[in-house]
Structure 1
Amino acid sequence: MVFIYINRDKDQKRREIFLKNNSHLSNIKRFSAIDGNTINREELISRGIITEDCIYINSAIGNALSHISLWNGVVESGKSACIFEDDAVLCHNFEEQYENILKNIGSDWEIILFGYNTDAMLYLDVVPSILEGIFTFDDVKFKKNIGQFSSQNITTQPIKLREAFGLCGYAISPKGAARLTNAIIPLRAMELHIKIVNGLYKNGSLDNFLCAAYREMDAYCCVPPLCVSENDKSLSTMWNAENFYY
């Protein structure tokens, strides 16, 4: 079981908070994130990593390439990995629950979301081909109580995923990593059909792309979540959602 969290070299405080919040997690490894301030768009265009019409801002490119770099490692190693962003908070019995999930969903899974943004809707295939549902959360109450999450023992169920925003934590298999890498590179202008935002959305971030991609994958979502994030947009260097709508 490989656990990796993504953290920029200069974000020492976020690193310390992540390790404190998740001290119950064993064998966690840090991945040095690609800093958006170092992005050379012309070089990336020449290498076929992005196209000229790519609307990702530099910090969003850095974020996307950080995840994609880890996906490449998953493909090359042939081993699945659990990947977390550095604002993630994991429940106390995370490892036990993850093992149980893998026993229940078979070997063909591609991606498992451990958590999702609680200030956005969640679209699930509750009974595949029979019953779907779109769910909302009490985000205000959640943010008041997020400090208690790491001490919680949670029993979760993997539910087939249609759409979700948020990448605080997920598992990805070699099959899923290969599919997503091939689909997203080069980073480019795309029209994304996303039901939970009522239609078309712009491909302005990795999160947007994935939200539209899950329905075509063997994707699962943990309900209730095993991993959460406060998703504080005042601290985000990528949040410009108003620019994604058509």
Structure 2
Amino acid sequence: MVFLYINRDKDEKRRETFLANNAHIGNLKRFSAIDGNAIDRDELINRGIISADCIYTNPAIGNALSHISLWSGVMESGKTACIFEDDAILCRNFEEQYEKILNTIDSDWEIILFGYNTDALLALDMVPSILEGAFVFNNTKFKKNVGQFSSRNITTQTIKLREAFGLCGYAISPRGAARLTGAIIPLRRMELTINIMDGSCHNGSLDNFLCAAYTEMNAYCCVPPLCVSENDKSRSTIWNGTDFYY
């Protein structure tokens, strides 16, 4: 079992922190992220990767293309991948729980979120077509105690996902990778409907696009999560909420 994490070449400190937080996990393989600061937008437009009306910042393009590059590998290999961003913290028994998920979930799944942002709502189909719910987290308590997460054993279950923010960790199947790649390329202006944001949202980041896409997919998330992220927006290179919501 191989797990991929996305890390920019210049972020050696984040790499060291990620590996220290997840020293209990085997087979962690680094993927060199696409540097948004080195992007040539005109070249990407000419190649049909983005459209001229794309409102992604260059760092947001780099983030999106890093994930999409890994999706291409999933499609080419025909094998599922587990993908993590370099601020993810995995629970102590992650590998055991992931094996359990694969043995119990329907084979036609497309994406499974191992974690999600705790400063936003999470929308689930608790009983598909019968009972839906939106759930809020105590993010203040989480921030104080997040350092304990890697030492915890978690017993999780997969629940049908409707909407969530955050890409700290997920599994994607070849079918899911093909569906998402076909829907998002070229990166372009879209007006997205996201109910947990109580309205419309600009397609200004991969995270926004995916939040709106899950409802149409065979998407699941782990409850409770198997990985978490502090999601420190003060350190984010792509976050600017006013660009996305209205």
Q: Which category describes the TM-score, using the shorter chain as reference length? A: over 0.9
Give the letter aligned to residue 58 of structure 2.
Answer: N
User: Deviation digits for residues 65-119 of structure 1, max 9, x if unmatched?
Assistant: 0000000000000000000000000000000001111111121000000000000
Match of 2:56 in 1: 56
Q: Partners of 2:2 and 2:239 in 1: how far apart?
A: 29
2:6 counterpart SS class: strand
Offset of residue 2 of structure 1: 2.5
Percent of residue pairs bearing the same amino acid type: 78
User: In 2, are the aligned partners of 1:159 and 1:223 still within 8 Å (CA)?
Assistant: yes
Match of 1:165 in 2: 165
Offset of residue 199 of structure 1: 1.0
Match of 1:10 in 2: 10
Q: Are 1:96 and 2:96 matched, yes or no?
A: yes
Match of 1:130 in 2: 130
Match of 1:23 in 2: 23
Give structure 1 stretches of 5+ with no counterpart.
none
Offset of residue 172 of structure 1: 0.2
Match of 1:77 in 2: 77
Match of 1:117 in 2: 117
Q: Partners of 1:228 and 1:146 in 2: how far apart?
A: 8
Match of 2:42 in 1: 42
Q: Partners of 1:173 and 1:243 in 2: how far apart?
A: 31
Q: Are 1:192 and 2:192 matched, yes or no?
A: yes
Question: Map of 1:177-216 to 2, 5 A cutoff?
Answer: 177-216=177-216
Match of 2:154 in 1: 154
User: Deviation digits for residues 11-58 of structure 1, max 9, x if unmatched?
Assistant: 000000000000111111000000110010000000000000000000
Q: Partners of 2:217 and 2:2 in 1: how far apart?
A: 22
Give the letter aligned to residue 186 of structure 2.
Answer: P
Deviation beyond 3 Å, 4+ runs, structure 1: none
**TM-score of the aligned structures, taking structure 2 as reference length:** 0.99
Give the letter aligned to residue 196 of structure 1.
Answer: I
Q: Partners of 1:28 and 1:186 in 2: how far apart?
A: 30
User: Deviation digits for residues 179-205 of structure 1, max 9, x if unmatched?
Assistant: 000000000000100000011100000
**TM-score of the aligned structures, taking structure 1 as reference length:** 0.99
Q: Partners of 1:242 and 1:117 in 2: how far apart?
A: 18
Give the letter aligned to residue 94 of structure 2.
Answer: F
Q: Partners of 2:27 and 2:90 in 1: how far apart?
A: 14
Q: Partners of 1:78 and 1:237 in 2: how far apart?
A: 32
Offset of residue 207 of structure 1: 0.1
User: In 2, are the aligned partners of 1:3 and 1:82 still within 8 Å (CA)?
Assistant: yes
Give the letter aligned to residue 197 of structure 2.
Answer: V
Q: Partners of 1:78 and 1:23 in 2: how far apart?
A: 28
User: In 2, are the aligned partners of 1:200 and 1:245 still within 8 Å (CA)?
Assistant: yes
Give the letter aligned to residue 243 of structure 1.
Answer: D
Q: Partners of 1:182 and 1:11 in 2: how far apart?
A: 30
User: In 2, are the aligned partners of 1:7 and 1:30 still within 8 Å (CA)?
Assistant: yes
Q: Partners of 1:44 and 1:243 in 2: how far apart?
A: 21
2:235 counterpart SS class: coil
Provide the aligned length of Structure 1 versus Structure 2. Answer: 246
Q: Partners of 1:28 and 1:85 in 2: how far apart?
A: 12
Q: Partners of 2:245 and 2:22 in 1: how far apart?
A: 35
Q: Are 1:222 and 2:225 matched, yes or no?
A: no
